[in-house]
Structure 1
Amino acid sequence: MGDTICWLLAALPLLWALAAIGWRKMPAMKAALGCYALAAGLSLFLFHASVSEVMHFTVHGVLLALVVVYVLVFGLLLHHVLEAGGSDRGAFHLDFPLRSDEVGAGAVVVGGVRPIFGGGQRLWTGRRHRRPVVCGAWISSTQGDDIALLTQSAVPWGALAIGTVINAELSGVPLHELGEYSPWLHIPLYLLYTFVVVVISEGWRAVRLHLDGILIVFVSLASVTWAVSVYVSVELAGAAAGGAAALLLVGYWKCQALLGRRGTNEGEGRQPLGKALWPYVVLVGYIFVTHFFPSIRHIATTVGVWQWPAYGFRLELLYSPGFALCLAAVVALKLYRLRMTEGMACIKKTLKQVFPAAMATIGFIAMSSVMDGAGMTGVMAAQAAVWAGAAFLAVSPFVGALGGWVSGSNSAANAMFSPFQRAMAEQLHEPTIWYAAAQNVAAAYMTMASPARLALVAATIGRSGGEGEAMRLVGPIVGASLVIIVVGVLIGRPASDAGLPV
């Protein structure tokens, strides 16, 4: 069998994933299960893996996926409980003093804070107004479409960094190390996207007007994301950075208001922000305590642990962010005084919504595990190393971007390509960390230009059929992001070899 044919057969499950999702518009669950079946069949009949080996690799992948599904289930439950409690109908309206030209100020918050706390949703305030608003700023439907897509700019740390956790597990890189290196590629993009959101909202002249807010958001997000990822917890970095950016920006605005440099905005019908934030306080507080206090961490990592040593599986139920999300959901149920019927409705919605997402996650990770164990990933990496050589480091972000564009999910993209990136690093005798970081960040940013994400946001904003217009805006932006990521990899790799901090 020729090398090229062998490479094509080894890559066939990934090629099928690209075609099934990107071309045939197949649901992710069906595509993932089909990819797994194809990988298992090829492993048995062409790559000489035994039935017992394929089963072993499959179980290993399923168990790894359960770590992610545990977080996903309770994350969705918290979302539905907050929605039932009304937090999406004004409780998150930020009652801050804004300038009279409040679109740009609100856009600064969206560009810097909403990506962390789950962007892409419209916020509504008051009973009289039924136009989309963002942190008190009136925006057009077109602006809402574009801004909703750009709120995906913090995907590596969104949803408690689920995608980054998958990347670390499949690439074999310690999570804290991946959390340290990914910001090197990600931090410049905070500035780019905050800048872009302001331009979309008010035009180029608004940049000078809101330059102070842009810089505050950028510096706070960049520094806190890196510091928390390195010294506390990668899962907590997004929430901590978003909270810091919001507090610093609001404090700055209030100081200006006291000095008479900024007018106030007396809105009507606003609900208190504090009540809506309590579930997040519980969430962040629990993760911080279990990660930062050794005695509590010892209890959380030794009590209620599921493990299967034969497969290298270990799920610390109390230490996982999934348990923190569960606690936050319980607090929200009590806080909003939801009836039992409402609580059961939230659970039903969660189960209905989580099933396809969980099956897609399980399918893609099981596929990657089978391909890796049967040697298919190694075959692809060996041939790619022959074709690209050392230049593959510059190509690595494009591989991650392809997965993000096709799947519309950082988690799915990392599940598909993280083992391949690791194998490439091994073939080229390079440190795996740069390939893993490039995969993680590039896949995350390209999700905002994926066909699935474009269609979802257009439908949510009420502009179905406007995907082409959104793509014309977002395409060049994510293209510029990809160039910045490639440059970051090429600069960071020699810098780390020279012992310089990155």
Structure 2
Amino acid sequence: MHDAIHFLLAGLPILFALICLVWLKMPALYTAVCSYGLAFALAFFSFDASVQDLLHSSIHGMLLSVTVIYVLVFGLLLYNLLNESGAMNIIAYGLFRFCHSPAEQGLLISAALGPFLEAVSGFGIAVVIAAPLYLSLGFSAKKTMMLSLLTQSAVPWGALAIGTVINAELSRVPLHQLGEYSAMASIPLYIFYTFIVVAVSGGKKSVKQHLDSIFLVSSVLSLVTWATSAYVSTELAGVLAGGAAGCVLIAYWKLKSFISNREIETFASHVQMLKGNFYKAVVPYAVLTVYIFVSHFSAACKRIVTDALVIQLPEYRFHLELLYSPGFALFIASLIAVWLYQINVARLAVCIKKTLRQVYPAGMATMGFIAMSSVMEGSGMTHFLAAHIAALVGSWFIIASPLIGAIGGFMSGSNSAANAMFSHFQSTMAEQLHHPALLYATAQNVSASNMTMASPSRIALAASITNRSGQEGQFVRDILPIAFAALLIIMSSIVGLGFFFE
């Protein structure tokens, strides 16, 4: 009975956050603060954590959120600069050269380019880039939120697979094998997400009309992700898969148009007129991508950016390489935008004010939720939850393993943080049950990654960009069914892989 009460108390902060967001419709900012306060109180009174340890965990969580907020600030600044200069509208019109219907726009931006953007940057940058594009294309705030969050379909390979690398190290499994099996478990997810993207962007009736494109995109993503992870480099799998999917999709549409000898006239005159400006408009994003790519894959450049301007606080396990982070790449891209469009001081001040108004609710919510997650981890609440779920299911832990990973992804909003929380626990369970560690490492990796799209911190980010701060509860209700369906698919995939291991 005592353990049952403790189990309920350990999960109460997560349940409380869901009730506040979904049922009470509280803004994410207030929910995060209250959830953190509840976790702090429960850790002190029910889990015997000292105030000193709790404050240490709180500071650790707040510092971790700085890494995300650093990216968020300059991501939103870049968006506001491009919006102020009119570049976002130019990019939106330019997309009509490749995709003419809302469903095609969703396929290109969320299903294909989303994994590429997340792979080269991580930290939810795909959301920051995709959401403004959808708004410029005339999508509603609700559709924009859902479609921008659906760019998170390849988070195991986000930020050049840093979360997967952490998982492999903690689980003591080969990185290429973890990447390979994560890709295999993600095949049905790619198909599922691509169907959802088309249904959301173009309506349910458009799914039948675009079945060929749906299976083309999901097949390219699945094949390239698996082949690259298995035979080339796990770190590059998302980059190559997303890039290949985008290129193949555009080529396929061009071929169809050529064969049918049909050109869609919608916005054609605008596109032709803006053709030259389109390339100018995407220059900041090109600079962003090139900087991240070079800083990660040029040994000399990587050595420079990881050695200079590094903030380290070992007592809090905090390490922020200012020049290596995507935040700095976004800062450079913002400077390029200011120079390229000759944005004067007055207009720049307006953009900065807009950015700060958007950053505040999302940044504070992110800080609160990550601090809550850190307090729960530091006090043992998270491990208590996981251990008792494992004890409850026993030899059926193969079903519970993805659930534990999902809890980590939902709480932290980060594959890296979730894997740091639970990868060692998952490998310990594998040893106790005499099951392959690689199977549970895969379950942890894929489930934690996919549940980040429904995490309160990512929801707050999407709400901020769409100027819907305070309506996060509605966004949670919209995205949670998709996330839970994805979790069921992951559980089925892991069970299937379990038979393969036998």
Fold equivalence (TM over 0.5): yes
Distance 1:389 1:189 in 2: 27
Higher helix share: 2
User: Is the 8 Å Cα contact of residues 181 and 433 (structure 1) preserved in structure 2?
Assistant: no
Distance change (3 Å), C-alpha of 1:186 and 1:86: farther
**Which structure 2 residues correspond to residues 67-216 of structure 1 after superposition, within 5 A?**
67-93=67-93, 94-96=95-97, 102=101, 105-106=104-105, 108-110=107-109, 112-113=111-112, 115-116=114-115, 117-118=126-127, 119-120=130-131, 149-150=146-147, 152-157=149-154, 161=158, 182-198=182-198, 201=202, 207=208, 210-216=210-216
Tell me, yes or no, if the aligned pair for 1:185 and 1:438 is still in contact at 8 Å: yes
Q: Report the Cα distance in structure 2 between the residues aligned to 1:423 and 1:198, rounded to whole angstroms.
A: 37
> Hey, what does 1:252 align to over in structure 2?
252
User: Whole-Å Cα distance in 2 between the matches of residues 398 and 482 of structure 1?
Assistant: 8
Alpha-carbon contact 2:135-2:144 (below 8 Å) kept: no
Aligned CA distance change for structure 1 residues 479 and 65 (closer, same or farther; 3 Å): closer
Residue 296 of structure 1 corresponds to 301
Change (3 A) 1:203 1:367: closer
Q: 2-side partners of 1:163 and 1:292: how far apart?
A: 10
Deviates more, 1:275-284 or 1:243-252: 243-252
Q: What letter is aligned with 1:356?
A: P
CA contact (8 A) 2:386 2:404 kept: no
For residues 358 and 464 of structure 2, the distance between their equivalents in structure 1, rounded to whole angstroms, comes to 15
User: SS of 2:319's equivalent?
Assistant: strand
Structure 2 counterparts to residues 454-493 of structure 1, below 5 A: 480-493=485-498
Instruction: Find the counterpart in structure 2 of residue 337 from structure 1.
Output: 342
Equivalent pair of 2:160/2:238 in contact (CA under 8 Å): no
The partner residue of 1:436 within 432, 444, 457 is: 444
Count of residues paired in the alignment: 467
1:244-292 deviation line (CA, Å, top 9, x unaligned): 4333322333345555644354612233331222111111111111111
Paired position in structure 2 for 1:137: none
Contact 1:287 1:324 (8 Å CA) reproduced? yes
Structure 1 residue 52, shift from structure 2 partner: 2.3
Give the aligned partner of residue 138 of structure 1: none
* Aligned residue number for residue 306 of structure 1: 311
Instruction: Say which is worse superposed, 53-62 or 313-322, in terms of deviation.
Output: 53-62
Moved more, 172-181 or 23-32: 172-181
TM-superposition CA deviations, 1:290-337 (whole Å, max 9, x none): 111111111111111111222222111111111111111111222222
Give the partner amino acid of 2:152.
V
Alignment check: 8 A CA contact 2:87 2:281 kept: yes
Q: Cα gap change, 1:237/1:33 in structure 2, threshold over 3 Å: closer, same or farther? A: farther
Asked whether the equivalents of residues 29 and 359 of structure 1 are also in contact (C-alpha less than 8 Å), the reply is yes
8 Å Cα contact 1:68/1:162 also seen in 2: no
Return the letter of the residue paired with 2:398.
L
Q: State percent identity of aligned pairs.
A: 35
Moved more, 281-290 or 1-10: 1-10
Q: Kindly indicate whether residue 19 of structure 2 is the aligned counterpart of residue 11 of structure 1.
A: no
Distance 1:478 1:246, change over 3 A: same
Secondary structure of the corresponding residue to residue 319 of structure 1: coil
1:328 corresponds to 2:319: no
Query: 389, 393, 401: which one pairs with 1:384?
Result: 389
Deviation at 1:221? 3.3
For residues 398-426 of structure 1, give each alpha carbon's deviation from its aligned partner in whole angstroms, at most 9, with x where no partner exists. 5666788xx7x982899789736864664
Give, as a single letter, the amino acid of the residue that structure 1 aligns with 2:442.
W
Q: How many Å separate the matches in 1 of 2:481 and 2:26?
A: 26
SS state at 2:56 partner = helix
Deviations 1:446-498 (A, max 9, x none): 579x99999999998xxx9xx79x96xx8876565333222122233554x57
Conserved? CA contact 2:60–2:318, under 8 Å: yes
TM-score by length of structure 1 reads 0.75
| Deviations 1:55-81 (CA, angstroms, capped at 9, x unpaired) | 222222222222222222221222222
Letter in 1 for 2:269: E
Amino acid at match of 1:283: L
AA matched with 2:150: S
Relative to structure 2, which stretch is displaced further, 438-447 or 416-425? 416-425
Letter in 2 for 1:336: Y
**1:307 aligned counterpart, secondary structure:** strand
SS at 1:34's partner residue? helix
Q: Which residue of 1 aligns with 2:365?
A: 360
Residue 399 of structure 2 corresponds to which residue in structure 1? 394
Whether the 8 Å contact between 1:71 and 1:320 is mirrored in structure 2 is yes
Write the distance in 2 (CA, Å) between the matches of 1:319 and 1:486.
Answer: 35
User: For 2:70 and 2:216, how far apart are their aligned partners in 1?
Assistant: 35
Shift of 1:362: 1.9
AA aligned opposite 2:368: G
What residue number does 2:421 align with?
419
Q: Residues 344 and 237 (structure 1 numbering): CA distance in 2 closer, same or farther, change over 3 Å? A: farther
Q: Distance in 1 between matches of 2:324 and 2:462?
A: 35
- 3-state SS, counterpart of residue 350 of structure 2: helix
Q: Distance in 1 between matches of 2:13 and 2:481?
A: 30
Structure 1 residues 148, 304: CA separation in 2 closer, same or farther (over 3 Å shift)? Answer: closer
The structure-2 alpha-carbon separation of the partners of 1:33 and 1:184, relative to structure 1 and needing over 3 Å to count, comes to farther
Structure 2 residue matching 1:92: 3-state secondary structure:
helix
CA contact (8 A) 1:164 1:440 kept: no
Deviations along 1:363-389, whole A, 9 cap, x unmatched? 222222222222222322232222122
CA distance 1:361–1:237, shift in 2 (3 Å): farther
Question: Alpha carbons of 1:333 and 1:18: their partners in 2 closer, same or farther (altered >3 Å)?
Answer: same
**Distance between the aligned counterparts of 1:4 and 1:147, measured in 2?**
41
TM-score for both structures, normalised by structure 2: 0.75
Q: Secondary structure at the match of 1:47?
A: coil
Unaligned runs of 5+ in 1: 126-131, 135-140
